């Protein structure tokens, strides 16, 4: 009887492994002479990073390199560190990572470098002293200014407006808002910010409630800027419910598929964001070029991505201007 149990155990294990082998066929390990580039998102399984996966894999196909797109299933820095350690053991050529926490990854990225692996960051900067190349989606300064330009386009350059943001401690969101505010001070002096930026915990529901409060407290409001992807949606929802969509212009940073219904009923005038698929594509292209000894050049025209900007330090790359999503074009995107 004991033996039977053991046999059953081992048999099921073998079946399990065979199953996983079949699953893995699609991502079979490459031949040793082929270039292998790892692109690691903060986590897998959310629309934003699914879109960048398509881009990264497409680039792998186009360039004939083996791309592994893998990351933890939760946004835990500890899991990311473990996965990178495994990938170093696997022996890859380049690792591009979007760190959940920059500080936590510094030791393991240094280990990767010692093992002769090219280290890049994408989407979110890692410790700049350990990366060979840093791929940014956007220039924070320009992006902030662009959001305020859109606001003025929709509400005019005079009047009251408010800012609804994801969280007060998010460095990237604050960077965009600060850039936009200082830009508005000189360029659009007649704009009047009615209150401090309103935090919404990265949740649409809270953005919706806070916007209802704003509309009640400031009836003269003509515009709302939503920063962080759920914020403009919540604001649009509130504006639509109160029936003031033609009086209050909502603009902000949102994904096109999410914002499509609001764009269509006019409660959200325009959304702006970069294309995560392009970002994944660009990351792979640049990693491959670096492996071949070619550093990126300012103004270089990357096929399927466009002209990129390279900063003076030679390792910070900006993908380019954001894409605006309106009623007309929101249906064309898949992220």
Q: Nearest approach, Cβ of 36 to another protein (angstroms)?
A: 9
Query: Using CB under 8 A, which of the segments 101-109, 132-140, 197-205, 274-282 binds another protein?
Result: 101-109
- Report the nearest approach of another protein to the CB of residue 319 (Å): 26
Report how far residue 243's alpha carbon sits from residue 241's, in angstroms, rounded to the nearest whole number: 5
In the complex with another protein, the residue whose CB is nearer, 36 or 316, is 36
Of 82, 98, 99, 78, nearest to 90 by C-alpha is: 82
H helix and E strand count, the chain: 10, 16
Nearer to another protein, 10 or 217 (CB): 10
**Please, what is the minimum distance in Å from the beta carbon of residue 312 to another protein?**
27
Kindly tell me the sign of the dihedral angle through the C-alpha atoms of 81, 86, 88, 89: positive
Question: Interface with another protein by CB under 8 A: which range of 103-111, 214-222, 225-233, 298-306?
Answer: 103-111
CB of 199 to another protein, least distance (A): 12
Shortest distance, position 77 Cβ to another protein, whole Å? 6
The pair of three-digit structure tokens given for residue 256, joined into one six-digit string: 């096109």
Can you point out the beta strands (E) in the chain? 36-40, 66-69, 94-97, 118-122, 133-136, 159-165, 191-193, 198-199, 221-227, 249-252, 270-273, 301-302, 306-307, 309-310, 316-318, 323-325
Q: What are phi and psi of 121, to 5 degrees?
A: -120, 155
How far is Cα 112 from Cα 131, in angstroms, rounded to an integer?
Answer: 10
Binding segment for another protein among 89-97, 174-182, 248-256, 318-326 (CB under 8 A)?
89-97
Residue closer to another protein, measured from CB, 91 or 331: 91
Minimum CB distance to another protein, residue 55 (Å): 18
Closest CB to another protein among residues 44, 212? 44
Query: Which residue of 54, 70, 141, 182 would you call a contact of another protein, by CB under 8 A?
Result: 70
Chain centre to alpha carbon of residue 26: 26
> Which span (68-76, 226-234, 279-287, 298-306) binds another protein, by CB under 8 A?
68-76
User: 163: how many CB neighbours lie within 10 A of its CB?
Assistant: 25
Nearer to another protein, 38 or 184 (CB): 38
Q: Which is nearer to another protein, 103 or 217 (CB)?
A: 103
Q: Is 88 in the site for another protein (CB under 8 A)?
A: yes
* Residue 181 engages another protein in binding (rule: CB under 8 A): no
- The token duo for 20 is 């996983």
Structure tokens at 241: 């419910």
CA distance 95 to 160: 47
Phi and psi, residue 169, nearest 5°: -105, 0
Q: Which stretch binds another protein (CB under 8 A): 4-12, 139-147, 256-264, 288-296?
A: 4-12
Report, in Å, the least distance between residue 92 CB and another protein. 10
Out of 31, 64, 73, 293, name the contact with another protein by CB under 8 A: 73
Contacts to another protein from residues 28-67, by CB under 8 A: 28-29, 44-45
C-alpha dist (Å) from residue 246 to 4, 219, 264, 268, 328: 74, 14, 13, 10, 18
Place of tokens 């959940």: 100
81, 207, 236, 319: which one binds another protein (CB under 8 A): 81
Of 282, 276, 275, 309, the residue nearest 62 (C-alpha): 282
CB of 323 to another protein, least distance (A): 29
**Residues found near another protein in the complex (CB under 8 A):** 1-2, 5-6, 8-10, 12-14, 16-17, 19-21, 23-24, 27-29, 44-45, 68, 70-74, 76-79, 81-83, 85-91, 101-107, 169
């Amino acid at each position: 009887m004991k033996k039977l149990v053991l046999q059953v155990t081992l048999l099921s294990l073998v079946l399990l492994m065979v199953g996983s082998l079949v699953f893995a066929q699609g991502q079979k390990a490459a031949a040793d002479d082929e270039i292998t580039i790892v692109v690691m998102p903060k986590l897998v399984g959310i629309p934003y990073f699914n879109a960048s996966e398509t881009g990264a894999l497409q680039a792998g196909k186009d360039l004939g390199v083996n791309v592994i797109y893998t990351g933890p299933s939760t946004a835990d820095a500890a899991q990311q560190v473990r996965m990178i350690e495994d990938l170093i053991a696997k022996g890859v050529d380049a690792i591009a990572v979007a760190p959940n926490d920059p500080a936590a990854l510094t030791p393991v990225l240094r280990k990767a470098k010692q093992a002769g692996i090219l280290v890049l960051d994408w989407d979110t900067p890692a410790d700049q002293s350990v990366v060979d190349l840093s791929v940014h989606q956007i220039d924070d300064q320009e992006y902030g200014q662009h959001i305020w330009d859109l606001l003025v386009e929709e509400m005019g350059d005079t009047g009251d407006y408010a800012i609804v943001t994801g969280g007060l401690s998010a460095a990237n969101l604050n960077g965009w808002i600060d850039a936009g505010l200082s830009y508005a001070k000189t360029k659009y002096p007649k704009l009047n910010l009615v209150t401090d930026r309103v935090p919404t915990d990265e949740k649409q529901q809270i953005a919706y409630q806070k916007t209802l409060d704003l509309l009640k407290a400031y009836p003269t409001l003509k515009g709302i800027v939503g920063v962080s992807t759920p914020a403009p949606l919540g604001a649009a929802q509130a504006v639509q419910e109160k029936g003031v969509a033609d009086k209050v212009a909502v603009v902000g940073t949102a994904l096109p598929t999410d914002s499509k219904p609001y764009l269509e009923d006019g409660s959200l005038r325009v959304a702006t964001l970069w294309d995560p698929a392009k970002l994944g594509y660009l990351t792979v292209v640049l990693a491959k070029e670096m492996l071949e000894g070619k550093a990126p050049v300012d103004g270089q025209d990357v096929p399927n991505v466009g002209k990129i900007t390279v900063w003076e330090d030679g390792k910070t790359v900006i993908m380019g201007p954001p894409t605006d999503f309106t009623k007309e074009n929101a249906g064309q995107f898949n992220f």
